[in-house]
Amino acid sequence: MRVGVLTGGGDCPGLNAVIRSVVRKGAQEYGWEFTGIADGWGGAVKGVTRPLDVAAVRGILPLGGTILGSSRTNPLRIDGGIDRIRETLRDQEIDALVVIGGEDTLSVASALADAGVDLVGVPKTIDNDVGGTDYTFGFDTAVGIATEAIDRLHTTAESHKRTLVVEVMGRHSGWIALHAGVAGGANAILIPEVEFDVDRVCAWVERRFEINYAPIVVVAEGAVPRAGQMVVKDESRDEFGHVRLSGIGDWLARELESRTRKEARTTVLGHVQRGGTPSAYDRWLATRFGLHAVDALRDGAFGTMTALRGTDVVRVPLAEVAGTNKRVPMELYEEFDVFFGT
Ligand code: F6P
């Protein structure tokens, strides 16, 4: 059997670890052959592929990014997109696919599976917002990077007695903000799931100065102020209709500075959170997902996705996951109330 492998959407640390484990197990245990599909659904539509064998995946375990390339191409918005993917699979004699992606890439995978293409999905994203799985790989690395940044910002904030606002990724969900904010001892954490009240954030900032410490405010890029519009620098949208975010951190720092009369600055962590070598945990999870994806293909469990439940890797139907978004529950967010403003 020949298996095509593709990585779609925003890249994240651990993608290469999945590719490696899929190829190693498929080739070594089952004698399968592999074809790498370049740049996610973009390469699938255009028929751009590259050879993928055990030699090609040697040494890639600790590498960030993806050796296959990625894109946000949405074949469902391209005329005849699904048929062109079928043509590529036919031309390359690919029998089944392993699709590694986040909510958008996996929604396309679900539609393709419904159209009869044999495939298995593997969830990835630094945002940890794919439904059906407790965690995605990439998240642990991103949280580590953001936490280290917050640790560093504490000392400079204290030296200058400034408010420092840290904007982290998280379009629809505040998992990175919450985990890194808690781990880094932030004094306010603002997430997309809960509209924030600027007056309340000001009160937290002032309280922190009163006790002679400088405040660190962690804000997810998708967080919005109460009764306000989402603040964006750029109104353009990608092929899945997502607006390009970034701007809430700057906006919030300006508001805090003018309302509290204390100097405020912003650090936007941006793509630094997505780049570079994966953490040990992400390599572990990505490797397990790859191994289980191969078993799912072997068992003919098409149209499913590998998912983490507790410490077990299970299979969930892609149809159950497509179009959903795993958000931070209110009760979890509220667990940390005691740290805000203190
Ligand atoms: O989907 C993951 C993510 O990291 C989001 O948090 C962020 O909004 C987006 O990717 C940025 O994507 P791009 O690199 O395509 O601008």
User: CATH number, domain at 197?
Assistant: 3.40.50.460
**Greatest C-alpha distance within the chain:** 69
Q: Is there a domain that residue 328 lies in?
A: no
Of 133, 190, 109, give the one whose Cα is nearest residue 310: 133
Q: Which residues are CB-neighbours of 261 under 8 A, at least 6 positions away?
A: none
Tell me if 334 is assigned to some domain: no
- Does residue 64 lie in a domain region? yes
- Residues 91, 36 share a domain: yes
Mutate to test the pocket of ligand 1, among 103, 127, 141, 239 (most ligand atoms within 8 A of CB): 127
Domain membership of residue 302 (yes or no) is yes
Q: Is 192 in the pocket of ligand 1 (CB under 6 A)?
A: no
Distance 332 CA to ligand 1 centre (A): 24
Q: Residues 169, 46: one domain? A: no
Which member of 127, 129, 140, 282 is catalytic? 127
Q: What is the pTM of this model?
A: 0.95
Residue 103 Cα to ligand 1 middle (Å): 12
Structural domain includes residue 256: yes
In a domain? residue 310: yes
Judgement on whether residues 256 and 308 belong to the same structural domain of the protein? no
281-322 pLDDT tens trace: 999 999 999 999 999 999 999 999 999 999 999 999 999 999
Of 128, 139, 169, the residue with max ligand 1 atoms within 8 A of its CB, to mutate for a pocket test, comes to 169
**The domain boundary residue, chosen from 257, 273, 289:** 273
Count of residues in the chain = 342
Mark whether 12 and 122 lie in a shared domain: yes
Asked if 145 and 258 sit in the same domain, the reply is yes
The answer to whether residue 127 is catalytic is yes
- For ligand 1, say whether the CB of 118 is within 6 Å of any of its atoms: no
Same domain, 145 and 265: yes
Q: Are residues 128 and 33 in the same domain?
A: yes
**pLDDT, tens only, 16-59:** 999 999 999 999 999 999 999 999 999 999 999 999 999 999 99
Percent of the chain's residues with pLDDT above 70: 96
pLDDT at 245 over 80: no
- Distance of CA 335 to CAs 107, 216, 222, 242, 328, Å? 32, 18, 21, 30, 12
Ligand 1 centroid–CA 242 distance in Å is 9
Judgement on whether residues 146 and 269 belong to the same structural domain of the protein: yes
In a domain, 240, yes or no: yes
Q: How confident is the model at residue 219 (pLDDT cuts 50, 70, 90)?
A: very high
Please name the residues in contact with 51: beta carbons below 8 A apart, sequence gap of 6 or more. 35, 36
**Is 55 domain-assigned?**
yes
What's 110's domain CATH number?
Answer: 3.40.50.450
Same-domain status, 220 and 169: yes
Mean pLDDT estimate for the chain: 95
pLDDT tens column, 122-163: 999 999 999 999 999 999 999 999 999 999 999 999 999 999
Q: Is 273 in the pocket of ligand 1 (CB under 6 A)?
A: no
* Structure confidence by residue, pLDDT tens digits, 181-211: 999 999 999 999 999 999 999 999 999 999 9
pLDDT of residue 257: 97
How far, in Å, is the centroid of ligand 1 from the Cα of 255?
A: 25
pLDDT at residue 235 above 70? no
Whether 6 and 133 map to the same domain: the answer is yes
Q: Which domain holds residue 69?
A: 2-138+278-321
Asked if 132 and 148 sit in the same domain, the reply is: no
Q: What is the pLDDT of residue 101?
A: 98
Considering its fold, how many domains does the chain have in total? 2
Same domain, 90 and 179: no
Q: Is the model's pLDDT at 232 over the cut of 70? A: no
Task: State percent of the chain over pLDDT 90.
Answer: 93
